[in-house]
Structure 1
Amino acid sequence: MNKKSLSERDICSKFINPALEASGWDLQWQVREEFPITNGRIIVRGKLHTRAKNKRADYVLFYKSNIPIAVIEAKDNRHSVGDGMQQALQYADLLEVPFVFSSNGDSFLFHNKLVSEGNLETELGLDQFPNPESLWKMWKEEQGLDSVQEELVTQDYHSDGSNKSPRYYQILAINKTIEAIAKGQKRLLLVMATGTGKTYTAFQIIWRLWKSKTKKRILFLADRNILVDQTMTNDFKPFGSAMTKIQKRQANKSYEIYLSLYQAVTGTEEEQNIYKQFSPDFFDLIVVDECHRGSAAEDSNWRAILEYFSSATQIGLTATPKETKDVSNIHYFGEPVYTYSLRQGIEDGFLAPYKVIRIDLDKDLSGWRPEKGMRDKYGNEIEDKVYKQSDFDKKVILDKRTELVASKVSEFLKQNDRFHKTIVFCENIDHAERMRQALVNENSDLASQNSKYVMRITGDSEEGKEELDNFIFPESKYPVIATTSKLMTTGVDAQTCKLIVLDQHIQSMTEFKQIIGRGTRINEDFDKYYFTIMDFKRATELFADPDFDGDPVQIYEPKEGESVTPPESLDEEMDGDVGSSNGVTGFGENESEFDPSLRFDGREFQEGDLPRNRVLKYYVDSVEVRVASERVQYFDANGKLVTESLKDYTRKTVTKEFSTLDEFRKHWNATERKQAILEELANQGVFLEALAEDVGKDVDPFDLICHVVWDKRPLTRRERADRVKKTNYFEKYGEAARKVLDALLEKYADSGVVQIEETQILTINPFPEFGTPMEIIQEFGGIEKYNDAITGLENALYLEIA
C-alpha cells in the first residue's frame, strides 16, 4: 500500500480508527468523527449574507458520553505527524480539553496540557495511544475528584434518541456547573447570551443532578408566565409527570420538579407567600432564570424566596448580569462558572449578526425651543425651555417626529419585506400607542386587510398580550409589527424577528443587551440569518462601551443597614405581566382616567402637581421634523461596529490576502478552477453580484475585483471574448474542436467563466449539435487534453495586454 497516495479520510479509516479501537476506545459512543464545533460566522453586506468556514475537529474523544477529553487532528501522509497540532490546539482551547493529538497515519504527536514542566509533546506509535481510563485518571487527579464526585460528574445527559446534542459551549457550561456542585459550591452563576440555549442548558444540568439523585426536589423560578409555559412544553418536557407548575395558593408537595413565577409564590401579604408552605429545606436545588431582574435586588420579595431556601444549591441564569452600586448578581451568586458572550456566539455562527441603521433627526440633534406663548394642541401653554432628545416622547410629544419614525420604518420594510417581524421599542405605553397609530396610517393597505398587522403589545393591553405568542410563533403571519416599551425586552423568543427599532432613550446596559437579544436567534427555515437595528435615539452608541460584551465586573457597594431598589424596577413592574405587579400603580402607564389635556409621566410626578394642574406632557402637532443624517454600520470580526461600504470591505479583504495586483493576477491564472477563488471570496463576505450592480453585470469577476481594489478599467466579458478571437489561439486545434471552443467562448461572454469550467455545459445547446459529451471530449484527445484546452482558453482570456 502506498500510504502517500491515500486521502486524509483513508488515513483515518485505515490507521487512526484501528489504533483507537485497539486501545479500548468505543468508536460508537466515545469517538466523534468530524465533530462540529462552530457553525461559521455569518457575514452580512447589504441584503446578502454568507457563512464563513466552520470549525470542525477530525476527532473529539469523550470519556463516558458527556465529557470531551481529547482532540485528534488528522492529515494525509504527505504531511508530517505534527502538521495538524496547531489546528488541534486551537480546537482544544475552544473545547477546554487537556489532551491533544496530531497524526498522519505513521504515529501520533501527543500534547499534554496538564504538564507544566518537561516535555509537553511526545511522539507515540500507533500501538501506544492512551486508553480512556488512563487519560481520565490524569484528568480526574488534576481536578481532585473523589469517587462520589466522579459518579456525579460522569452522569449521562438526557438523550431522546435524536441527533440533538449540546453545542460545545453548552457542554462546557453543563460540565463546569456539575463539577462545581460536585465540589460543594452552593451558589453558581451562568452567563450565556440570549439565544444560546440557557433553558436547554439548565435542563441538562437539572436532569443529571436529578438522575444521579444528587438533587431530589428542584425549583425552577422565572418572572414571566410565558417563560414558565415555554419551558414546561419544550425543554423540560422529558420530566413528564414528575413536574408541576406552582399556581397561586397551591403547594402540592408530591412532585419532584417544580416550576413557578416568583409572583405566584410571593406577595405583599403574608398569606400570599405560598413558598412558606414548603419547609426551608424542602428544595435542594433552585434554578433562577433571568436572575438579573428581581432577584438581583437585596430587598426584593423575590430575593426573600432564595434566602428562605438558603440551604438549597442555587444557580442563577442570565444573559446580562446586573452590576450596579445597588444591585449585584455576582455579590449573591459569585463569579460566573462559565460565560458565553454575544460576541463569541456571533463569531461562532450560533447567533445572528446585526447591521445598524443610525438615523439622526434634526430636532434630536439641535433640540427644540417653543416660541414664546406657544400652546400645544390641547391649548396648554408650553413651558419656555430647550427640549432635548431625552425629553421627546416623555415631556414633549412632537407628532411629526412620531410620523417620521413610522415613515422610515415602513420605508425600510417596503424596500425589503413588509412581513418581516418587527419590534419597535418606545419610551412608554403612551408612546407605543401613538407609534402604533402612525404605523397603521403608513401601512393602511395591509392594516385594512388585517387589523393585527400592527399591534401594541404592552403590559396594560390584554388584546396585545394575547397576540404575543402569535408574534413569536414563526408560522404565524400576524402580528407583523409590534410596538412596546418594556414587556418585550426579555424572555421573548422571537426567532424570526428581523428588524428592531430603537426609539427609546436607553442608558441601562442590561436593558440594551436584553433588547438586542430579541434579534439574535437564527432560524434558517424562515431565512433568518441576521437582523437590522434601526436606531433613532443613539442607543447603539452603547456598542462602543467597553462593558457591552465584556465579562461582568462586580461594582456593588454593600451599605450597612441600607438597601436600595434599582430605579428600573418600577418600570419593569408597571409594564410587566398582569398579575406581576407588587401593587404599585404609576401615572403615565394608565392615563385613560384623566382629562386628555392633563398628561402625566409617572417617573416625574410630584406631590402637589395634580392640585396645581401642572401639565407634564405637551402634545405638539405643528413642528416639522426632518432626517439630518443616515448611515449603515456592520458588525466586524472584532466585535466592533464599522461604517463601511461593500467596495471598502472588498478592498480591505482582498488586499489582506494579495498586496498587489500582480500577486492577485498570478493566483487567478494559477488556479485551475476560478470557482474556487470566487467561493473563497464569498465565504469572506465579498459579494460579487452586489458589486456588479454598481460596476456592471456583464463585467467578469476578475475585472470587478481589479477595478474595485486597484482601480483598473474593467472589461466586459464580451470584450475579453472578442479579444481572444483576434488571436491565433484556435489554430492549433482541428475544425471540430475549434467549433466547440468558439461556442464555449460565447457561453463565457453570456454567463461567465464558471460555466465553461464544468463539463455539464456540453449537454446544453449548441453542443449536442457537435456530438455527445464523450465524443466532443475525444475530439480533443481525451479528458486531460480537453481540460488543458479549457485552461489554455482561460489563460488567453486573462492574458495581460500592455
Structure 2
Amino acid sequence: MTPEAQARQQIDHKLEQAGWVIQDMKQLDLSVGLGVAVREYPTDTGPADYVLFVDRVACGVIEAKKDAAGENLTATERQTERYAHATLKWRQDSQPLRFLFEATGQLVRFTDGADPAPRSRELFHFFRPQQLKAWLAAPNTLRRRLAEHMPTLPTLKLRDCQVQAVTGLEQSLALNKPRALVHMATGAGKTFTAITSVYRLLKFGGAKRILFLVDTRNLGKQAHQEFMAYSPPDDGRKFTELYNVQRLASPSIDPHAQVCISTIQRMYSVLSGEPMDDAADDISLNEVQQTPSQQKWVRYNPAVPVETFDFIVIDECHRSIYNLWKQVLDYFDAYLIGLTATPDNRTYGFFNQNVVAEYGYEASVVDGVNVGYDVYEIVTVVTQKGSELKAQEWVDHRDRATRKKRWAQTEEDTRYTGKELDRSVVNPSQIRAVIRAMKQAVETQIFPTRQEVPKTLIFAKTDSHADDIIQIVRDEYGQGNAFCRKVTYSEKDADGVLTDFRNEYHPRIAVTVDMIATGTDVKPLEVLLFMRDVRSRGYYEQMKGRGVRSLDAEGLKRVSGSAEGAKTRFVLMDAVGVEKSLKTDSRPLEKKPHVALKDLLQGVAVGHRDDETLLSLGNRLVRLAKTLDEKAQARIEKLSGGVSVAVLAKGLITALDPDAIVQTALATAQAQGLARTEETLLPQELAAARALRVAAACAPLDNPALRDALENARREREQIIDHINQDEVVFAGFGEQAQAQAVTVVQTFAEYVQQHKAEIEALSFFYQQPYQRRALAFEMVEELHAHLSRPPLMLTTERLWSAYARVQASAVKGANRQRQLTDLVSLVRFALGLEAELRPFADEVDRRFQAWVFRHNAQRATAFTPEQMEWLRMMKNHIASSCSIGRDDFDYAELADKGGLQKVWQLFGKELDGLMGEMNWELVA
C-alpha cells in the first residue's frame, strides 16, 4: 500500500469515528446521515480529496497528504483554499466552503473561514458533523465574539491585580492567542479571578463548555464551593443558579454542564480508557513520579469529542501538564488558560511567553494581600549527621503499612543518614527534639504573648511519619486528641478536620503530607514546620504559600483569641534544611538526565553497572522505542539478535528488581547445593545475582554497531523541544553566510557522490550498463537517503534542493514544491552531470511518460483506450513515488481500489509484464 493510500485509510477511520459517512463519488447518497464525506469530488480545478456535506449542504473540504518525515501541512493550505473557492460540480451555491482541513494519517489542521483573520490550528481529531452544523447555524464564531463582542469589565469589588488579569486575558483571546498565562501570587484570588473570566466567556463569549482542571479532589471541592458562592456583578443570582457546574467523579461528562471541574488525571482516565482508582484524585501531581509503565496513550473517545470544551482553565499549572498528562490538553480543541503563583521557565515556554497578568509575591505583600515570613532553623545532630545502631541491639521492628511491631535484635551494624530518617529508620528522639525546640521558640521568642498555640501546620514525609509526629506533639504539649490532628488522604474525615482547622479553635496543630500542600486556603496559619525536604522549587513555593494569606484582626481572633491585631507575618520553621537544599524546577524521571544517550551506551559498554546509569539508559530506550518506525526497529533487531528496543529497555530496568535478584540468588544457591532462604542469603550472593542479571541485560550492548544504530535512530527520530530558553529575533533575511553555506552543501554532496559511488548500491546504478539500470528500486534510494541525512553530512533532499536553488538558480525547476524522497534520483543525476537541469523526479517521469505513450501508440495497430490510459497514469504515478512497479504493487490501495491486478490483467493481458518492464526502464533510467 502506498503512503498516500495508508494515509487515506487512517483519515477514513478518523472520520468514521467522528460520525461521518464515507462515500466515493459514484456511490453518492447524501440522505444516509447528517454528515457525509465524499471522496474525489469533482471541481473546476480538479477533484478534491474529500468534500464534507452536512444536512446535504457542502460546507468543508479535506486535503489529504501522505505521512512523511517533515510533512508540513501548513504548506498545503493554499491548495485547500483553492478547492474551497473552486466551483463544485452540481453545486448551486457559489459561496466558498467554510471549513478547511489538511490531514495526513497522523496530523489534522483546521481553518474556519468565518473567523476574523482565519488561522489554521492543529487538531487531535476531526470534528463531528453535529459540531459543524451548530457552527453553521450560529451568527458568529467563538473567535469573532471574543474579538468583537466582549463588553467592558465592571471593576467593582475587584482588586487591581484581578482587573489586570481578566482584561489581559480577554485582550489575548481577542487576538486569537491559543495559550495565556495568569501569574498571580498565592492569596491574590486566582480562583475568584478565573471564575469571573469563566462567567464572562459563557455569557458574552458564547462558550459552550469550560473545563476547570485542578490538582487534587480536595482542590476540586474547594473550587466548586467558590463557584457556588460567586455572584456576578451584573446579576443578583449565584453562578450555579445561572450555569450548571459538574464536579467530575465518573467517566461521563454531563451534556448539560457548562463548567466541568476535574483533576487532569481523571480526565486522562476518561480519554485513555484506563480505569482509575478514586484515590489517585487525592494525590498531588507534584508528588507523583511518572514511570514508563504508567504511560498510556490517549485515544479518541466518541463520547467526549475534541470539541467538548472551548476553554481549559489549568489551576496551578505545575509540572504535571508537561509530561504524560499533557495529552489531555492536546486532545481538546480549546484555548488554554494557565493560573499559577510559581511560574518557571518551562511554564513561560509552554504558554508561548504570553503572560497576560503578572502579580508576584513581593507586590502582594506590599499591597497587603499577603504577609511576609521569617525563617527559624532547627538543627539536630541526628538530622545533620545520622547515627548508627550496633548489631544485637534489641529494638522495635515495625511494618510500614500495618504499623504492627515486633521486638527483635538487629542482625548487623546499621548506619543511617539524616535523609533516611522516617523512611527506613525512625528515631523518636529526633522528632521529639524538633517538637520541643518548636514549642520553646514559639512560646518564648516568636509569639510570647499568646495564650494558645498559634495555628501550626507540620509537613511530614509519609503517612507513617505523620502518625509518629502526632503522638509526640500530643505528648509534649500534654494535650488530647483534638489538639493535634492528621490531615491526609488516609484520614477518614480529612475534609471535616480541615474545615475545623480553618474555622474552629481545635485542632491547633495539623500534620499533613501533601493534602494541603498546594492551593488549600487556611488563612489563620501562622507557623509552618518543615520536617521533610522538597526538591521541586515550584512545589516548595506552593507549600510556603499555605502561610502567606493575610487575615484581618476579627478573623484571626475568632480562632486565636489572644491574638492582637491582624495577621502580619508567618514563621517558617526549617528542621530539615529545606531552605538551603538544592531546588530544581522539576524532578527528572531518570538519574542522569544530562548524560547523552551515546555516553550512557558507551559507559555500559566499558563496564558501568551502577543503578543510575542502567535506569537512565533504560528510561531513554523506552522513550526511543515509542518513536521508531518499522524499518528502524528492524535494523536494530538485526544487530541485537532479534531483541527489540523496548525489550532491551525492559531488560535493563528489570535487571535491578530487588525481588528478582533475590530469586536469582536463591536459584543459584540451590544449583550449588546450598540451603538458603531470603533471610540467610549473603550480601556477596545477592551482589553476584545482581551482576549476573545485569550482565545478561547489557550483553547486546557490547556490539558497537548496535550502539551506533541506537544513537543514529535517536538523532533521526527524536526532536528536543526546548521550553526553557527564550528567544528573540535580531535579524531576518538572507545574508552572505547563507549563500556560502549553500555552496558548501552543493560541494559536499558532489564530492560524496564521487567518493562513494562504489560503496552504495543506489549510486552504483548510475555507473552500470543500461540493462542493469532497470534494477533501481525504492529501497536503494532509501538507503542512500539514510547515508546522506545522518550526521555529519545532514544532507536531506529538502536541504540539497534548496542549496542548488541558491547556487544554480537558472538550472533548478520546482524549487518551491514539496519534496519527495525520489527527488534524490534527480539530485544524483544532476550532480553527476547526466542532466543539464534539476527537475523534480515526478516531472521527469511525466515527461518521459508522455514521450513513451506517444511512441508506443505510433507503433501499435490501435492506440491505448481511455481506460487503459487511466491505468497507465496510475502506474506512472506509482513509479514517480516508488521508482518502479511490479505485480505486487497492485495490492496498494490506490491501485487495489480500482480493481487491482485482476482488473489491469483484463485490460492488458499478457502485455502487462512487458509494459511494466518498459515503463520501469523508460521512465526511470
Q: Give the alignment's TM-score, normalised by structure 2.
A: 0.40
Q: Give the alignment's TM-score, normalised by structure 1.
A: 0.46
Query: Greater helix share, 1 or 2?
Result: 2
